[in-house]
């Protein structure tokens, strides 16, 4: 580390990118608070992501001081952080793979189950060539519920408040998009699955989920036209 304070050292590194120390702090606070930055989420997110692209090596260097890993998906323009000691990607440590208010956010069993199924459904959409130009897969809620029964033998939460809470948590993690909370009460509602679901769940986890234990293939969840 060069002589002088860390701030002075960073200010010297930032100068060539025309980014101030305060702007670096703003970017780091956003990343640490949310754990993910998606460029097309909002105008603010767009500005922060573009700033990140200009100073990516510096951001990685600072986060590395605390053992925080960063994954940058350039094709779909998003950044996700992984806390110290986590193994990414994989659902064995899924509760440690996102930040939200505190450095490590925990996921409920309902949330983990839904994430696993959404990843499996996303892979199915990839095989069928049904992704949009931003890499999203669009799944009907009815198909997601059927897939959960087929793969995991469990249902989505029956209570409206619990179901909304599960989907809201995944939306906070930027893994899915949907229009209104009220839509979740309708079987014909549609959920858009973000391509970062692939980074959130390992291929091994999906293989374990989709490999039949009895030798029989479970019934596939069909789309609702």
Contact 174, 78 (CB under 8 A): yes
What is the side-by-side strand order in the sheet with 78-82?
A: 36-38, 78-82, 69-73
Q: How far apart are CA 132 and CA 223, in angstroms?
A: 16
Taking the CA atoms of 180, 184, 186 and 190 in sequence, report the sign of the dihedral they define. positive
H or E stretch at 165? helix 160-172
Can you read off the two tokens belonging to residue 109?
């069993």
* Residue 108, pLDDT score: 85
Contact 37, 9 (CB under 8 A): no
* Residue 183, pLDDT score: 73
Per-residue pLDDT of the chain (225 residues; tens, 9 = 90+): 444 588 899 999 999 999 999 999 999 999 998 889 999 989 999 999 999 999 999 999 999 998 999 999 999 999 999 888 665 544 444 444 443 333 445 788 889 889 999 999 999 999 999 999 999 999 999 999 999 998 888 898 888 899 899 999 999 888 999 988 777 877 678 999 999 998 887 767 666 666 655 444 444 433 332
* Residue 135, pLDDT score: 93
* Residue 210, pLDDT score: 61
Preceding peptide of 64 cis, ω within 30°: no
The residue among 90, 85, 87, 56 whose CA lies nearest residue 73 is 56
User: What distances in angstroms separate CA 70 from CA 16, 62, 74, 219, one per listed residue?
Assistant: 23, 11, 12, 37
Contact 151, 209 (CB under 8 A): yes
In the chain, domain spans:
6-82, 109-210
What is the side-by-side strand order in the sheet with 176-177?
A: 137-140, 190-193, 176-177
The residue among 137, 142, 141 whose CA lies nearest residue 121 is 137
Q: Is 192 helix (H, G, I), strand (E, B) or coil?
A: strand
């Amino acid at each position: 580390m060069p002589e002088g304070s860390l701030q002075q050292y960073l200010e010297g590194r930032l100068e060539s990118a025309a980014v101030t120390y305060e702007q670096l702090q703003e970017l780091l606070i956003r990343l640490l608070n949310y754990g993910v930055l998606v460029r097309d989420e909002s105008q603010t997110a767009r500005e922060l992501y573009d700033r990140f692209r200009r100073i990516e090596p510096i951001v990685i260097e600072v986060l590395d001081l605390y053992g925080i890993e960063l994954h940058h998906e350039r094709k779909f323009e998003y950044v996700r952080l992984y806390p110290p000691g986590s193994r990414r990607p994989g659902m064995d440590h899924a509760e440690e793979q996102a930040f939200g208010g505190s450095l490590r956010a925990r996921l409920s069993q309902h949330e983990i189950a839904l994430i696993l199924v959404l990843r499996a459904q996303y892979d199915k959409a990839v095989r069928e060539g049904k992704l949009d130009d931003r890499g999203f897969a669009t799944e009907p809620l009815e198909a997601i519920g059927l897939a959960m029964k087929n793969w995991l033998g469990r249902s989505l939460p029956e209570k409206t408040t619990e179901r909304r809470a599960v989907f809201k948590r995944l939306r906070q993690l930027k893994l899915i998009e949907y229009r209104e909370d009220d839509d979740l009460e309708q079987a014909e509602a549609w959920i858009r699955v973000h391509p970062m679901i692939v980074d959130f769940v390992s291929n091994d986890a999906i293989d374990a989920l989709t490999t039949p234990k009895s030798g029989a293939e479970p019934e596939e969840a069909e789309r609702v036209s």
